[in-house]
Amino acid sequence: MIRSRLDPASEEHQRRRASMLAKLAELDAEHARAVGGGGERYVERHRARGKLLARDRVELLIDADSPFLELSPLAAWGSDFPVGASMVSGIGVIEGVECVITANDPTVRGGASNPWTLKKSLRAADIALRNRLPYVNLVESGGADLPTQKEIFIPGGQIFRDLTRLSAAGVPTVALVFGNSTAGGAYVPGMSDYVVMVRERAKVFLGGPPLVKMATGEESDDESLGGAEMHAKVSGLADHLAEDEYDALRIGRSIVRSLNWRKRGAVPLPAREPIYPADELLGIVPEDLKVPFDPREVIARVADGSEFEEFKPAYGVSLVTGWARIHGYPVGVLANAQGVLFSEESQKATQFIQLANQSRTPLVFLQNTTGYMVGKDYEQGGIIKHGAMMINAVSNSTVPHLTIVMGASYGAGNYGMCGRAYDPRFLFSWPSAKSAVMGPAQLAGVLSIVSRASALAKGQVYDEEADAAMRAMVEAQIETESLAFFLSGRLYDDGVIDPRDTRTVLGMCLSAINSAPVPEPAGFGVFRP
Ligand code: COA
């Protein structure tokens, strides 16, 4: 059992806690914007039409009082589009079956898909496929956001491709159509295994009456072109005609019940709560990420019984590795301790990842790294080779990976510690997280050194005043672009979470992962570096 050295009464803990709570208040405000959808006027109009909001639909679809792990609620943050990207996406339990659920938010520009909605939608399908989770779409969308069609139209074809590939892989797809689903959008029900349409509400056609008039001269109306009743009785595109939205959700639940879905992964052992309270996670991360913190304090508040069997504790001490359980699921944990990764840490990580693959144990990466060590001694000692070895192990490891960005995630440390490009099954950030190619001050400093050398080479006098202004501007820009909200807005993670929820979120992810069979191991025996 980990013996915590944290003193929650200390002034330092209280300061860190206050700083984290301030960031969480900002996070709440951003989440409230996503929940607010298109704003009061559009929400009222939607309700006045007798329709349920996207989140109400999700809530009625999932089992009563069951949790919903919402994904990417900050999508589009920092862009010209409303936070949330006009779509709700997440993992919820329907009739005891964990499913990926997406719901268009018709209060935001008619539910039209902008470039961030597209990313969110593709990510949802990817999660469904890799974790073998039935995929349920609650459809009501104005199709592509027309002014940004150039960003959406061509890559957007993947939405429909993914639907049929999911089906081909044996993952069921369900479309509940509540309203508009026209043009390209018509292929969402078109490509789904099961289709439910709401009477007098669903409109599914390749072209609406005005377009048909323009194309062929034919006079038509919404109902005969793409109404729910027509599709249920004439075209056969709808398998079920729902009387109203509640009926559609009821039918959706019964479709999932009839899938007779069985999870194929590992079954968890009985779970035990950690000894130390999750609330203390608020006071661990320093306000200044240059100050290191002991990740064992985090593990002690996330792992079952606060138990952690550390591997190679005396070797490569800047990276903590070891075995634990979370909600009864065995995991291997890799956590940065003092920020920098040296050759020893890289070799230790490589060996540990191979051991986890040998025992088919999922890995949890707790990131707080400033990257691999630079400098003559380290280069001569082969830091590139050793970092490459770790990145190789992470890339080719076949057990599921989960990543939490707790603090810094700079340079190739982001890669070695299983950043987004290394395909962790899920990646969440704490509000304290910062990711970039390097720290803002270092980046501005490097730019300044390069500019100065370039000026000297041309025989020019270097403008010190302009240099200072450039540094300040670049530092501010990189700082903004390193922050968790900004990166979450671009879907470089699956959401920013409250540190206190880390154990719950990881538990839900581990359960979701085990809907799929445990993957086959990759080739070799364990190399002892
Ligand atoms: N792209 C960009 N903006 C869109 C949009 C789209 N595809 N669809 C709707 N919007 C905007 C509207 O211009 C409107 O903006 P405003 O309130 O600032 O004026 C807002 O979203 C709400 O649309 P509105 O038409 O008032 O909502 P509605 O609920 O009455 O109707 C639709 C919704 C989707 C039926 C209707 O907007 C529509 O037919 N849109 C175009 C559908 C289409 O042909 N899409 C192309 C498919 S590829």
**266 φ/ψ angles, rounded to the nearest 5 degrees:** -70, 150
**Residue 123 CB less than 6 A away from ligand 1:** no
**Residue 37 CB less than 6 A away from ligand 1:** no
Q: State the sign of the Cα–Cα–Cα–Cα dihedral 211, 216, 219, 223.
A: negative
Q: Rounded to an integer, what distance in angstroms lies between the CA atom of residue 376 and that of residue 390?
A: 20
Tokens representing 399 are 């057990």
pLDDT, tens digit, 9 for 90 and up, residues 330-382? 999 999 998 899 999 999 999 999 999 999 999 999 999 999 999 999 999 99
Q: Rounded to an integer, what distance in angstroms lies between the CA atom of residue 368 and that of residue 362?
A: 20
**Ligand 1 atom nearest residue 208's Cα:** 44
| Residue pair 104/87 in contact by the 8 Å Cβ criterion | yes
Calculate the alpha carbon distances from 294 to 297, 367, 372 in Å.
6, 12, 18
**Residue 145 CB less than 6 A away from ligand 1:** yes
Residue 90: beta bridge partners? 70, 101
- Sorted by where each begins, the domain ranges of the chain are 13-257, 278-437+483-513, 440-481
**Residue 413 CB less than 6 A away from ligand 1:** no
| Residue pair 425/418 in contact by the 8 Å Cβ criterion | no
**Residue 252 CB less than 6 A away from ligand 1:** no
**pTM of this structure:** 0.95
Please give the CATH superfamily to which domain 13-257 belongs. 2-enoyl-CoA Hydratase; Chain A, domain 1 (3.90.226.10)
Atom 39 in ligand 1: residue holding the nearest Cα: 142
Q: Each residue's pLDDT tens digit in the chain (529 positions)?
A: 999 999 999 999 999 999 999 999 999 999 999 999 999 999 999 999 999 999 999 999 999 999 999 999 999 999 999 999 999 999 999 999 999 999 999 999 999 999 999 999 999 999 999 999 999 999 999 999 999 999 999 999 999 999 999 999 999 999 999 999 988 889 999 999 999 999 999 999 998 899 999 999 999 999 999 999 999 999 999 999 999 999 999 999 999 999 999 999 999 999 999 999 999 999 999 999 999 999 999 999 999 999 999 999 999 999 999 999 999 999 999 999 988 999 999 999 999 999 999 999 999 999 999 999 999 999 999 999 999 999 999 999 999 999 999 999 999 999 999 999 999 999 999 999 999 998 889 899 999 999 999 999 999 999 999 999 999 999 999 999 999 999 999 999 999 999 999 999 999 999 999 999 988 887 778 888 7
Q: State the sign of the Cα–Cα–Cα–Cα dihedral 309, 311, 317, 321.
A: negative
Instruction: Give the residue, out of 146, 187, 204, with the most ligand 1 atoms within 8 A of its beta carbon, to mutate for a pocket test.
Output: 146
CA of 142 to the centre of ligand 1 (A): 5
**Residue 253 CB less than 6 A away from ligand 1:** no
| CATH for the stretch 278-437+483-513 | 3.90.226.10
pLDDT, tens digit, 9 for 90 and up, residues 108-135? 999 999 999 999 999 999 999 999 999 9
pLDDT, residue 527, reads 86
Would you say the CATH fold of 278-437+483-513 matches that of 13-257? yes
**Structure letter (DSSP) for residue 500:** G
Q: State the sign of the Cα–Cα–Cα–Cα dihedral 497, 500, 502, 503.
A: negative
